Amino acid sequence: MKKSALLSFAFLLLSAVYANAQSRVRFHTTMGDITVKLYDETPRHRDNFLKLVKDSTYNGLLFHRTISRFMIQAGDPNSRNAKPGQLLGDGDLGYTVEAEIRYPQLFHKRGALCAAREDGNPNSSASQFYIVTGAQYTENMLTRAQQRMDEYTGGKYKMPSEVADVYRKVGGAAHLDGSYTVFGEVVMGMDVADEISNVEVDANARPLKDIRILSTTIYDGSNLRNMNIDEFESYIANSDVQLVDVRTAEEYANAHLVGAINIDMKQADFMQKASTLLDKNRPVAVYCRSGKRSSISAEWLTEAGYRVANMQGGFLAWKEAGKKTQL
């Protein structure tokens, strides 16, 4: 993804003080906000990224390379004062970050946050990153992606069926797996990333109209807690907790937890309804059928300033445990 040569650097000097188990970063851009979650499985990239955000390194930089249905790239320090049409992508901070390939646990699914690098150098750029906006894969595309991965890694990695299924249903950039470090994912603002991906560009894929990162904000995740069934039951016993069922209205009507209100997270006005019905000064507890939708909803609500508890396992686990419900 990156073209220029970079010097290696002993990255271990970075302190873990910048890290948190649920670290998130919000990019405030000229086209809207994008929030990413950083993976603990890639601590070198996580800590480096947080340090750069803390130092305001990304403030004022451009998304200098955007390719529709593929990815958007930023982080070139030379882009801050770049002239119109200037070729970008070779800027660096004088060091690289040792690669942390965690395939197939972490892969280039749609929304993945990944580190750019120079061709031929397995280590990552210190500052340049990209967000995957890739389309869904056909069987032929998956075959070609595996062939590319075999060629680059010498056959080290094989695409599991579960990963292939994500590429079929969700999309991504499978041909980059095993070659670049995936160190996070978008949790809010994927629509903004898609809009950036689809702007008009020049022959070098640089947007004709500058798209700039105005500022960045770190969230430590302290306002989000994931709880098992028993913990959740004790938590919602507090009358101050606002209990929210984020399933569909039909699911809610069939049966729900006692005292829960229904706000369907699949509806476009989910956050608007939440802001109307929920008090930010009181804690919120969310659940869904299996825990997947509530996990996403909890992320959204946390980013909006709520203190949120998410029930792991969802309504299915609640019923299986013999907990009380109502119609």
The residues assigned a catalytic role are 288
CA atoms within 13 A on the CB side of 320: 10
Sheet of 242-245, strand order: 224-227, 308-311, 284-287, 242-245, 261-262
Whether the ω angle into residue 104 lies within 30 degrees of 0, i.e. cis, is yes
Q: Determine the Cα–Cα distance for residues 215 and 60; give it in Å rounded to an integer.
A: 7
Q: Determine the Cα–Cα distance for residues 118 and 227; give it in Å rounded to an integer.
A: 42
Q: Which two tokens stand for residue 58?
A: 């990304």
Q: Which two tokens stand for residue 35?
A: 């929030």
Q: Determine the Cα–Cα distance for residues 133 and 307; give it in Å rounded to an integer.
A: 30
Dihedral class, residue 171 (left if φ above 0, else alpha if ψ from -120 to 50, else beta)? left
The DSSP output letter for 137 is P
Q: Which residue type is seen at 269?
A: D
Q: Which two tokens stand for residue 256?
A: 């729900």
Q: Which two tokens stand for residue 153?
A: 């890694």
Contacts (Cβ under 8 Å, ≥6 apart) of 161: none
Nearest of 121, 130, 269, 123 to residue 193 by alpha carbon: 130
